[in-house]
Amino acid sequence: MVLAELGGRITRAIQQMSSAIVIDEKALNECLNEITRALLQSDVSFRLVKELQTNIKKIVNLDDLAAGHNKRRIIEQAIFSELCKMLDPGKPAFTPKKAKTSVVMFVGLQGAGKTTTCTKYAYYHQKKGYKPALVCADTFRAGAFDQLKQNATKAKIPFYGSYTESDPVKIAVEGVARFKKENCDLIIVDTSGRHKQEDSLFEEMRQLAEATKPDVVIFVMDSSIGQAAFDQAQAFKQSVAVGAVIITKMDGHAKGGGALSAVAATKSPVILIGTGEHMDEFEVFDVKPFVSRLLG
């Protein structure tokens, strides 16, 4: 179910409940059950959906609501604030500082959109006056360096990589050192992926993080992976200190639920969402407008 459809279903569930003559426990339960079904079909993990339902019921105590209170409004607000809470881990997103060098490491499975998103992230900061640079530490996928090189050239961002070196740690360390010397304030390290969650990938990520000491690790996740989102995000978080999430391919038939699951699994904020293949096709993520838009 695409995001707009999820929002529409939630809104309709609330409207239906409001049209009941009395909003009692039964009407509220029916509304929450429909919202639960919609969220599950949008790939929000079962655990999160259960939690949301319990929390809303805690906030909305129908017995306590004095007559004359606008119950629909109270329920609507509870749903809004619970959805916001699910997307807000309660810590601010990492912001690089212009006067000092920040190292940012991107991680994610192959095809998630890391290389594409690295350029988007660099391009976005370049426009804000930063001096970014890209390092290709993906030695696993043939063509990864060429892709990064092509993107970086288009965006006029300096890059570093190797066609011959097979040790990603060596490339990353050399690239970071070079761009530090050149006074770049945002050094972005693109890493390898694998088709699935494999020990060798996580070991490589650990070694890269150890060697480059990133200020933040950004987990990139394809929004179409469905219910696998929670486990995948958690697996990366257990290997490296993920501090931010980027959800890609939200322009396709994306289900929004993955974003909620990734936040819950990594306890990190979503910072950008990818909305296309080109470097300017992304949106800066902001919880409240996102949920408002979701609920129409």
Q: Which residues bind ligand GDP (CB under 6 A)?
A: 108, 110-116, 147, 193, 248-249, 251-252, 274-277
Q: Which is nearer to ligand GDP, 27 or 250 (CB)?
A: 250
**Amino acid at the residue 35:** I
Distance CA 41, CA 1 (A): 6
Residue 29, number of CB atoms within 10 A of its CB? 13
| Cβ distance to ligand GDP smaller for residue 94 or 140 | 140
To ligand GDP, the closest distance from the beta carbon of 248 in angstroms equals: 4
175-195: b (≥16 Cβ within 10 Å) or e: bbeebeeeebbbbbbbbbbbe
Q: Which is nearer to ligand GDP, 78 or 221 (CB)?
A: 221
What are residue 274's DSSP bridge partners? 282
Question: Which residue number is nearest to ligand GDP in terms of Cβ?
Answer: 274
Least Å distance between CB 111 and ligand GDP?
5
Answer yes or no: are the C-beta atoms of 226 and 42 closer than 8 Å.
no
CB of 14 to ligand GDP, least distance (A): 30
Side-chain-facing half-sphere of 171: CA atoms under 13 Å: 24
Question: How many Å separate Cα 61 from the centre of its chain?
Answer: 33
Q: Which is nearer to ligand GDP, 17 or 257 (CB)?
A: 257
263 within 8 A of 89, measured Cβ to Cβ: yes
Shortest separation between residue 188's beta carbon and ligand GDP, angstroms: 12
Least distance in Å: CB of 249 to ligand GDP? 4
Q: How far is the CB of 58 from ligand GDP (least distance, A)?
A: 37
Question: DSSP strand E in the chain: where?
Answer: 102-107, 132-137, 159-160, 186-191, 216-222, 242-248, 270-274, 282-284
- Of 2 and 40, the one with the shorter C-beta distance to ligand GDP is 2
Cα–Cα dist 204/218, whole Å: 15
Q: Which is nearer to ligand GDP, 108 or 214 (CB)?
A: 108
